[in-house]
Structure 1
């Protein structure tokens, strides 16, 4: 569980102000099937390979568990193991990669039937289908996984050649899965246009200027939503820093000064990131409702609208000490977190570590960028003799 907690801590998954429903819907539209817990692209092959091997054994349920845990040391012994789930816990890892990646395996049709549960894939894979014709045993067997999936490397799962480094054939196949399963999305765009390895947000990529259609619309809303609401996130943390300081709690850094500076930078950059007057927030909400299949919580909608309206009426640089802005933040945290709210709660303030969801939303970009980079690195490798 330490590995899972670490993954959450390093990504934009904190939801102190109740913005998660909109953030996650935009993330799903831009990068379908992904999660902040996804670390490397080759897991999309490693998990199916493990299940295929386990399905051949007498006790597939026990075998798949054993093999997934064996993978941890096998990958750790390779040259490319960054992003390994279980790096700290080892074989004692509680949440296995199959549980984390199953939804993505479904979304990209790596599973032959998206309705298959893990136990179904284990028990049914390789089973004979109905019929009397026994002339072709392979044709009349159920396959839980895509029939075009590359084969596992020699020695798998005891040895994982290359670790997380994708072979050319594997990368090309995953690229095809993305283009086939989620065409017209930003994920498909980056499957063709490699992202920069150190870009901080998807809209920072030069290739996005050529976007069109739904991908362009969703990315525009994501950038605007991130830019506008980052001010609320920073003001919330400034208010925490002020109360933390006033309560006499020690800190190695002057967080009040830090967040004041960050708010000044945000206020200066905001006009270049989004035209608050022209941003169609109602179109954003319609798209989010459609993506989620359910409305966003009314209080979340009200908070986003109120914050946007405040920015229309007040220069961003004046929000730092604006009473209405501070009341909006305080009320929102109380409604969102209830008794766990930190503002005005000395006990909860004492445990504040200097940042509570202060980073600008990038919609899983760090995780997605790594997966896409894995694929493009694999495509750049020379095909091996048996990749033909």
Structure 2
């Protein structure tokens, strides 16, 4: 099982699940839709599982080192090389090592999985003739084909485009010795050249990530900082709406938790704390004013049409904030309707299934709700890695 590459569809499902888990809670109401769409607009190719920028170069180097292998042999060899790399990085004290926590076991989400989409989006992995992203198995086959048949001078008899664009030179310590996650100057220049060309949603406008990379500076102090807004160009208004949407989703997630806590107490007759109900008041105090400014029509113009039940939640939550009632009970119907997409897994449902799902939920163990983050932590690390190259 560990030696089988996932299909594109399976990887897409896994990506969605990992994004949900990164939010600290399951995405019961659908706020993750907003998170993913704005994150992909501003920072194409990024993922919540990205750690350090140098992995985007490590992965194609690993593949090229294994040229000649295909099928299960290539999968096994890559798995072992990625495991060894995790150990070498841990040995020098790196703290953001993919697979570092489980070493010496191999990671279930190795760098070649985590960064494959970025390799394609950032123009390092060549696309197929039909424009689709090649799979890792296809990359192994292309690398084998590229060196398979040569003439007397060692030149290939047939022309094959290798899967990766020309890469920076490998350092002397690539095959052995101490290696770190700090980019070399040439590696940073290689990445900057590609990231600086990234367009928003495949269109003509530069993405916010490209604009940030072009400054050649470290990351701004926050996604909403004046420095980020100043260079956002045509995305300035969308960036303001993204902040408003992030705050509204944070309030909405807190509303969901407060409603659930209330049902446990009033309908299920279970003793529970008021932790999430207290937090709702705090998050409305901190984020309510910004959240209430969101224009939902303009949000959809930025991100595309939202599911109708999610749109209803956003609108109702905005109205609830404006009412200053602080009692989330009037929102129960619209939130329960949105969560109904989860079927028997819905916790707000006043059914035997809903009650069974609520038995699995603990108020004290469940994380407190917060705003959407749009992968800013990962983007900040990427920008700082580029700025700190040596």
Q: What TM-score comes out, normalization by structure 2 length?
A: 0.78
The 3-state SS of whatever aligns with 1:352 is: coil
Pick closer, same or farther for the CA change 1:90–1:186 going to 2, 3 Å. Answer: farther
Q: Is the 8 A contact 2:42 2:209 kept in 1?
A: yes
**Displacement of 1:160 after TM fit?**
5.3
Check if 1:64 corresponds to 2:64: no
Structure 1 residues 299 and 140 mapped into 2: Cα distance closer, same or farther (>3 Å)? Answer: same
Indicate the structure whose relative CO is greater, using CA pairs within 8 Å and at least 6 residues apart: 1
Equivalent residue number for residue 218 of structure 2:
194
**Counterpart position of 1:154:** 172
Whether the aligned pair in 2 keeps the contact of 1:12 and 1:362 (CA below 8 Å) is no
Q: Distance in 2 between matches of 1:338 and 1:306?
A: 22
SS at match of 1:55: coil
Structure 1 equivalent of residue 360 of structure 2? 351
Cα deviation, residue 213, structure 1: 3.5
Q: Does 1:368 align with 2:368?
A: no
Q: Larger deviation: 133-142 or 350-359?
A: 133-142
When residues 6 and 213 of structure 1 are mapped into structure 2, their CA distance, relative to the original with a 3 A threshold, is closer
CA RMSD of aligned residues (A): 3.4
- Output the CA distance in 1 between the equivalents of 2:19 and 2:176: 26
Match of 2:242 in 1: 222
CA distance in 2, matches of 1:285, 1:310: 21
Contact 2:250 2:283 (8 Å CA) reproduced: no
Mapped contact 2:38–2:303 kept (Cα < 8 A): yes
Matched residues, number: 355
Q: Which residue, out of 314, 321, 338, partners 1:304?
A: 314
Q: Does the residue aligned with 2:252 lie in a helix, a strand or coil?
A: helix
How far apart are the structure 2 equivalents of 1:21 and 1:35? 14
Distance 1:82 1:262 in 2: 33
Q: Deviations over 1:220-264 (max 9, x none)?
A: 22111111232221111122233445656577xx4x145424424
**In 2: Cα distance, 1:266 partner to 1:234 partner:** 9
Aligned residue runs from structure 1 range 11-90, under 5 A = 11=23, 14-56=26-68, 60-88=74-102, 90=104
Aligned partners of 1:126 and 1:143 also within 8 Å: no
Within a 5 Å distance, the mapping from 1:1-388 to structure 2 comes to 9-11=21-23, 14-56=26-68, 60-88=74-102, 90-113=104-127, 115-125=133-143, 127-128=145-146, 137=155, 142-147=161-166, 149-159=167-177, 161-162=179-180, 164-182=181-199, 184-191=206-213, 192=215, 193-196=217-220, 202-203=223-224, 205-245=225-265, 247=268, 254=273, 256-257=274-275, 259-267=277-285, 269-271=287-289, 273-274=290-291, 276=293, 279-289=294-304, 295-311=305-321, 314-315=322-323, 317-318=324-325, 320-333=326-339, 335-343=340-348, 344=350, 345-354=354-363, 355=366, 358-378=369-389, 381=390
In structure 2, relative to structure 1, the CA distance for the partners of 1:18 and 1:321 (3 Å cut) is same
Structure 2 spans left out of the alignment, 5+ residues: 3-14, 200-204
